């Protein structure tokens, strides 16, 4: 699928700082050490409703990682999927009396508009589940052939499942114990009580066709892909094993990322799908996780329609650390708007304090597991001084404008 137009990235003087990120699997902040091309896969939306602030927070977080990679001179091969075949799509399409394909296309279009407005750099490969069915069929065939998968004994619905014990390292990504795995498996799309499964945790790879559900032909019979194999196949076929960053919200740690990894590891015989597993905290509203199923949503498109500057939304989202579960509240947005106004005012100054130290601190904090509260504070300090007329560097405002644009993705340039 086509993605969306990326904003240009100005160059920023001074030395870049290699990034260190928290890895869910190793439970530590570790250096990310990409080659010339940094490789990143981030789980995309299920397009049955509009982008909310939780999605936006997650994609803005990985956008910062993308920007820090580029600042360090790497090309970035960024891949994102769209889960455009899934139960919620069918349910919503039936409820609204529209075709599930039209619903998916409409919400994906809106997502592209939201990402463009939020100045998120586009993925190089933006791949829908429907587009990748052949890849999934091939992967499931291989998993069956090498004994990692089996067909349930059900003549009517011969679904294919992945054996949880196909790899010896299963469980390393989340580090969860059996009880936690069982709980999240049941809560997050798993089917522990499906008759015929060998282990309650075995994950669906290929769902045999049911009446009223779309299906595609395959050597396993007509059906549709399971969820985790979609991300495994899309990532593996574009980035290979041991790519740099696998990302998404913390709600995907288990079962989704554990099984995406296990599928790829069972396919290749290699031990580690991604070198870094990076997860964002959950954005909530009114005390609960913001989610389409709960309906407690603040939509990016609604804020845009109300005239809110997306740069202020970005600053609001970056005002707390990405790994913290956090609430989206009116004061968060008001604070983002206030900060944006101050930075823009400072950016109009004809001079300010020398920018080198501020830019160095901005880079240092971002590369320290995306410490955005400190990164924003570094720019706040420069802006406060510039507004007070402190400092005589005539080039500083331009350098700060470029750094805030390139590294934070926020546009504070005076409108000419």
Minimum CB distance to Zn ion, residue 231 (Å): 4
- Which residues inside 245-304 make contact with ligand 5CA, applying CB under 6 A? 248-249, 251-252, 280, 282-283, 289-291
The H-or-E segment that residue 357 falls in is helix 356-367
Residue 404 makes contact with Zn ion by CB under 5 A: no
Q: Which of 19, 32, 40, 43 binds Zn ion (CB under 5 A)?
A: 43
Residue 309 makes contact with ligand 5CA by CB under 6 A: no
Residue 66 makes contact with ligand 5CA by CB under 6 A: no
Give the x/- contact pattern for Zn ion in 300-319, rule: CB under 5 A.
--------------------
Q: Which does 339 bind (CB under 5 to 8 A by kind): ligand 5CA, Zn ion, none?
A: none
Cα within 13 Å of Cα(215), Cβ side? 17
Q: Which does 249 bind (CB under 5 to 8 A by kind): Zn ion, ligand 5CA, none?
A: ligand 5CA
H-helix segments, 146-192: 178-187
Question: 258: helix, coil or strand?
Answer: helix
Distances (CA, A) of 201 to 148, 190, 206: 14, 8, 15
- Which residues inside 360-399 make contact with ligand 5CA, applying CB under 6 A? none
Residue in the block written with tokens 């795995």: 181
Minimum CB distance to ligand 5CA, residue 217 (Å): 24
In whole angstroms, what separates CA 134 from the centre of its chain? 24
Query: What does the block give as tokens for 312?
Result: 């202020």
Minimum CB distance to Zn ion, residue 234 (Å): 8
Residue 231 makes contact with Zn ion by CB under 5 A: yes
Q: In sequence order, what are the beta bridge partners of 149?
A: 162
- Give the angle subtended at the CA of 8 by the CAs of 7 and 13, to the nearest 5°: 135
| 332 vs 343: CA distance, rounded Å | 16
Query: What does the block give as tokens for 164?
Result: 């949880």
The conformation of residue 313, written as its DSSP 8-state character, comes to H
Comparing CB distances to Zn ion, the nearer of 119 and 256 is 256
From the list 3-11, 51-59, 352-360, 379-387, the region that binds ligand 5CA by CB under 6 A is 51-59
| 331 vs 311: CA distance, rounded Å | 16
List residues near Zn ion by CB under 5 A.
43, 231
Site residues, ligand 5CA (CB under 6 A): 43-46, 54-55, 57-58, 81, 83, 231, 248-249, 251-252, 280, 282-283, 289-291
């Amino acid at each position: 699928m086509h993605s969306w137009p990326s904003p240009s990235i100005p160059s920023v003087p001074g030395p870049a700082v290699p990034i260190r990120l928290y890895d869910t699997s190793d439970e530590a902040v570790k250096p990310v050490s990409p080659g010339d091309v940094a490789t990143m896969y981030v789980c995309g939306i299920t397009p049955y409703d509009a982008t909310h602030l939780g999605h936006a927070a997650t994609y803005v977080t990985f956008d910062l990682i993308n920007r820090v990679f580029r600042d360090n001179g790497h090309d970035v091969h960024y891949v994102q999927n769209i889960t455009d075949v899934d139960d919620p799509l069918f349910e919503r399409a039936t409820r609204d009396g529209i075709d599930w394909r039209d619903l998916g296309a409409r919400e994906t279009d809106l997502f592209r508009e939201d990402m463009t407005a939020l100045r998120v750099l586009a993925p190089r490969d933006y791949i829908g589940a429907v587009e990748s069915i052949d890849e999934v069929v091939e992967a499931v065939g291989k998993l069956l052939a090498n004994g990692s998968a089996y067909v349930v004994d059900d003549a009517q619905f011969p679904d294919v499942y992945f054996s949880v014990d196909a790899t010896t390292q299963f469980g390393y990504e989340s580090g969860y114990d059996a009880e936690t795995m069982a709980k999240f498996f049941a809560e997050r799309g798993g089917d522990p009580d499906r008759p015929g499964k060998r282990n309650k945790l075995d994950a669906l790879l290929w769902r045999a066709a049911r009446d009223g559900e779309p299906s595609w032909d395959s050597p396993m019979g007509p059906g549709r892909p399971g969820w985790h194999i979609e991300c495994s196949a899309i990532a593996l076929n574009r980035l290979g094993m041991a790519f740099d960053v696998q990302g998404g919200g913390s709600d995907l740690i288990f079962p989704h990322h554990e099984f995406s990894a296990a599928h790829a590891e069972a396919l290749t015989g290699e031990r580690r799908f991604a070198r870094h597993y990076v997860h964002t905290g959950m954005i909530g509203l009114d005390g609960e996780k913001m989610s389409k199923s709960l309906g407690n949503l603040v939509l990016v498109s609604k804020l845009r329609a109300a005239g809110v500057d997306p740069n202020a939304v970005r600053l609001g989202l970056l005002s707390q650390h990405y790994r913290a579960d956090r609430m989206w509240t009116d004061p968060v947005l008001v604070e983002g708007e206030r900060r944006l106004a101050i930075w823009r005012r400072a950016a109009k100054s004809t001079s300010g304090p020398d920018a080198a130290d501020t830019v160095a601190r901005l880079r240092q904090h971002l590369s320290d597991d995306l410490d955005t509260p400190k990164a924003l504070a570094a720019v706040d300090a420069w802006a406060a001084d510039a507004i007070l007329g402190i400092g005589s560097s005539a080039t500083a405002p331009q350098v700060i404008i470029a750094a805030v644009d390139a590294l934070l993705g926020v546009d504070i340039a005076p409108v000419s």
